[in-house]
Structure 1
């Protein structure tokens, strides 16, 4: 906390800590890697959940490749990405938060209903030392990924009015505390109960391990889709801001609706393409979670 100084962007904090140039070189690349990576993972997650919803609701229908579901999920963002700023997606963000709590509750409740599986095992899944070590680090990366929100915290705080009498740090701190409590309420029951019921055979997406009741699992998967729709936009907004700022200030493009239209559509198309090319949900979580760890320590 710096008295009398407000940082509205993450790179501003980096510049204060490391200097004008070095701060940019240290913070911006890592922040971009995390935010773009999170968007790619959300593309995969959204497509996977849509596919699971389709297969659950219509089990007798012809199977459709994951690629098409990722494209369907991306089509929503070709529209939502043209909302101007964080304030304009507040409704989407609220819906995403509610859906996160809802599908998490469904996940652990349905796990209890399904009951403890026969021959459940709680030992290491890998039978080699190297495999166990890699699984351990992948788990740490997955945990770090769950808290990657630090990378957009200053951009979010910038939307809160601040005066000397009522500084934005007060409501922001309360929001952060509440957010962590909600995250704990969402994740810990799923992790503990899911592992207790399925052991080391639990799927990275626990909803895939659950099959009945079908209507509840289908609803939970749709909640996941709505959640990642909102979350994608939260992480994409700072990227849009960075790209458009560089295009206008460095490359001398005229700020216009057309520039925004092209930049944001190209970005959504890029994340969609990478998600289609590498649709490995659990592997991506751990890998990109490792990148998320360093930038979060700056705040």
Structure 2
């Protein structure tokens, strides 16, 4: 009996791995799940800084740039030929394949910095939501008479303690039901925020807000500029998904070509997400106008129904507890792999000990993993306690992600892949777009850092009660 070559095997793909089964719909679901997250909570505030005209236009601009650069990136899933070339399994593999070791190191540094920043941001967001649940119940019991001031620090410590335990679970991010739970939770709190915004607009009987956003009569001209820049970072953060696009593409079956399927999935997903973002952001702005809170569900623009706010904030916490681990796993794996390669003979680093859980089950404990992951969670928790500014951190992360990971590397890889001649019309166009996005990232980063500096002038670490 003749043996089929791997390329024609019904069980294996051209790289010898089991046949991929992903489709347009599964890819779209993964992208939508990855994009819709805690970033949606700051969109009403971002639109309030930009106004009714600039806010939606900027959001549509980021959506277009995200779609265009994702189309460039998916063509780089395969080296040399986007249909039959060698597969790149991750974003980093693609950068190494097209741009070499030097740029791969730079990409890795930015990516790991971003992941650490996301962990800090998720710690802050979770603690604010936990605090919001307690405050909403306090307000309800006192009829709004008690200011219900409390510190976020105990909630951050509680969140950190949970993450220390979960971080010891091997391959936590590979648990099959995790993405399903995350998707349900993110849609739950986003939909509640949208519904409450619509209800508030109906209660007001009109749309609030102005054409130019928050006025210089409310804030100074300088503050208006910094807040506008920070709003760009918040919107950029809401569209950050490029780093996982190649991984999603690696699940797609072929034929048709993975690039063709992913382009359709990216277009569909970004369209759905943008419609949802516009609804959430614009309804939040219409409900509160220029006083829109920096976090729609914890800024206490909404007080009732308090039980619905509790559900939304609990959903945020559940989502972020799992998302923290998903985003931190690459950092954990990188450090542990590097340590094992550097000190292969160290029992502390490489040896595993069996800890019996029952007569038939045991847990492999590694002391380096125990110590390192615990220290990492403690670090992110302490930084979050020192800088508990959700909106500022979101802006910084958006600025850090947007230009290098969403625009620069996809553009440079595409130029190499398609052999685009230097100074040709297409080369000039994509490089001009890249430089424009660099300026946006710089402005967003500066605006967010200024926001941190201003907040630190009135914030007392480990002492302030909200």
Fold equivalence (TM over 0.5) = yes
**242, 246, 261: which one aligns with 1:150:** 242
Equivalences for 1:9-48 in 2 at 5 Å?
9-20=90-101, 22-48=102-128
Please, which runs of 5 or more residues in structure 2 have no aligned partner?
1-75, 143-147, 353-365, 411-466
| TM-score where L is the length of structure 1 | 0.86
Deviation at 1:6, TM superposition (A): 2.4
Which sits farther off after the overlay, 134-143 or 35-44? Answer: 134-143
What is the match of residue 246 of structure 1? 338
- Structure 1 counterpart SS, 2:175: helix
Aligned equivalents of 1:167 and 1:260: distance in 2?
40
Aligned equivalents of 2:188 and 2:276: distance in 1?
9
Aligned equivalents of 1:36 and 1:191: distance in 2?
27
How has the CA–CA distance of structure 1 residues 163 and 205 changed in structure 2, closer, same or farther, with 3 Å as cutoff?
Answer: closer
**Contact 2:160 2:381 survives alignment (8 Å):** yes
Equivalences for 1:91-240 in 2 at 5 Å?
91-115=177-201, 116=204, 120-122=208-210, 123-125=212-214, 127=216, 128-155=220-247, 160=251, 176=266, 179-181=269-271, 183-207=273-297, 208=299, 209-240=301-332
How has the CA–CA distance of structure 1 residues 114 and 260 changed in structure 2, closer, same or farther, with 3 Å as cutoff?
Answer: same
Q: Is it true that 1:276 corresponds to 2:385 in the alignment?
A: yes
**Contact 1:92 1:230 survives alignment (8 Å):** yes
**356, 369, 372: which one aligns with 1:263:** 372
How has the CA–CA distance of structure 1 residues 289 and 151 changed in structure 2, closer, same or farther, with 3 Å as cutoff?
Answer: same
Please, which runs of 5 or more residues in structure 1 have no aligned partner?
none
Aligned equivalents of 1:175 and 1:90: distance in 2?
22
Which sits farther off after the overlay, 168-177 or 47-56? Answer: 168-177
Deviation at 1:255, TM superposition (A): 6.0
| TM-score where L is the length of structure 2 | 0.57
**Contact 2:173 2:326 survives alignment (8 Å):** no
Aligned equivalents of 2:236 and 2:167: distance in 1?
26
- Structure 1 counterpart SS, 2:89: coil
**406, 427, 437: which one aligns with 1:296:** 406
How has the CA–CA distance of structure 1 residues 221 and 87 changed in structure 2, closer, same or farther, with 3 Å as cutoff?
Answer: closer
CA deviations on 1:8-44 (whole Å, 9 max, x unpaired) are 3333222223212x02332011101111111111110
Deviation at 1:163, TM superposition (A): 7.8
What is the match of residue 54 of structure 1? 134
Bigger radius of gyration = 2
